[in-house]
């Protein structure tokens, strides 16, 4: 089985064009996971700008991604001292799949900002309003596996463990709270780089599954991820919540925390209320 690094890789395929592939097995019911598609597009953003990490990436989802070759056309619009900005269009052979804009740069490792002397530098100022979600150990959480009514995500590429209080939807017992908390790692313990965090922010079942009874396709229109730091190796703790379902739209806000209790990514997506 290929690693995430392999499954999301791109290679030069012409001026401002990068080649890659949507690998089978990164899908839910035949459609590639949105965060995985973003990861492929973001590899091209990184390659085109020559920076190490995504800092803020936005994707608009144009069509479902099916396994097969893809091309990513990039346009670098700014190369600054600290950040570069580029757009990208990820296409399957027959149609555009994803439109992206992102800024890239060089992020700290999670531990870098915990030096005491940082408090003396203005840019070292920090404020953290809340911490990682309180989760039972992974072995006491709910591992998502296939059921008759719920397909498993990613067919074994990703290890997801839901907080037991948020897993009721899978047996038809939604909690009534649009909240989804749990552990995330790649199968096989592959370290998660800053591009891998894009998979984490879109890997969990939609929060709305816990607000309503029947899980249904909840299409994402747009997803923005802010990457704050390079995560420590190991399990990530994730929290997704929705506050407003209005006008046929809902937002889903995500936070990803690493083993050092450091916020490594924040996300928000705009999705459409299922019409079932």
Nearest to 22 by CA among 88, 6, 14: 6
The site string for a second copy over 161-190 (x = CB under 8 A, - otherwise) reads -----------------x------------
* CA nearest neighbour of 184 among 175, 173, 196: 196
Cα–Cα distance measured from residue 110 to residue 133, given in angstroms and rounded to the nearest whole number = 18
Among 22, 47, 72, 100, binds a second copy (CB under 8 A): 100
**DSSP three-state, residue 178:** coil
Here the tokens at position 240 are 């997704």
Only one of the segments 17-25, 144-152, 160-168, 224-232 lies at the binding site for a second copy (rule: CB under 8 A); that segment is 224-232
Q: Check binding of 99 to a second copy (CB under 8 A).
A: yes
Instruction: Select 259 or 274, whichever has its Cβ closest to a second copy.
Output: 274
Q: What's the DSSP call for residue 121?
A: S
**Number of other residues whose CB lies within 10 A of the CB of residue 85:** 19
From 37-45, 133-141, 143-151, 238-246, give the range in contact with a second copy by CB under 8 A.
238-246
User: The tokens of 149 are what?
Assistant: 């009514």
Q: Of the two residues 159 and 255, which places its CB atom closer to a second copy in the complex?
A: 255
Using alpha carbons, select from 10, 69, 21 the residue that is nearest to residue 45: 10
> Which residues form the interface with a second copy (CB under 8 A)?
55-56, 58, 60, 62-63, 77-78, 80, 83, 85, 87, 89, 96, 99-103, 107-108, 113, 122-130, 178, 211-212, 221-222, 224, 226, 228-229, 242-251, 262-263, 266, 268, 270, 273-276
């Amino acid at each position: 089985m290929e690693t995430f690094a392999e499954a999301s890789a791109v290679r030069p395929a012409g001026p401002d064009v990068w080649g890659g592939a949507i690998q089978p097995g990164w899908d839910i019911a035949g459609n590639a996971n949105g965060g995985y598609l973003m990861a492929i597009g973001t590899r091209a953003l990184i390659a085109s700008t020559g920076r190490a990490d995504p800092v803020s990436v936005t994707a608009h989802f144009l069509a479902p991604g099916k396994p097969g070759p893809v091309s990513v056309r990039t346009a670098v619009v700014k190369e600054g001292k600290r950040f570069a900005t580029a757009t990208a269009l990820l296409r399957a052979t027959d149609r555009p799949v994803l439109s992206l804009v992102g800024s890239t740069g060089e992020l700290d490792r999670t531990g870098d900002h915990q030096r005491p002397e940082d408090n003396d530098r203005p840019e070292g100022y920090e404020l953290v309003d809340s911490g990682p979600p309180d989760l039972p150990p992974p072995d006491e959480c709910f591992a998502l596996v296939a059921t008759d009514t719920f397909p498993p995500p990613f067919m074994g590429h990703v290890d997801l463990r839901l907080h037991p209080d948020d897993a009721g939807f899978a047996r038809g017992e939604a909690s009534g709270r649009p909240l989804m908390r749990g552990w995330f790692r790649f199968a096989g313990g592959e370290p998660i780089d800053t591009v891998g965090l894009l998979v984490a922010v879109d890997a969990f079942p939609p929060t709305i599954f816990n607000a309503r009874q029947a899980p249904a396709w909840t299409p994402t229109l747009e997803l923005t991820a802010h990457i704050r730091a390079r995560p420590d190796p190991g399990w990530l703790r994730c929290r997704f919540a929705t506050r407003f379902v209005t006008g046929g739209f809902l937002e889903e806000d995500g936070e990803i925390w690493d083993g050092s209790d450091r916020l490594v990514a924040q996300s928000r997506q705009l999705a459409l209320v299922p019409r079932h």
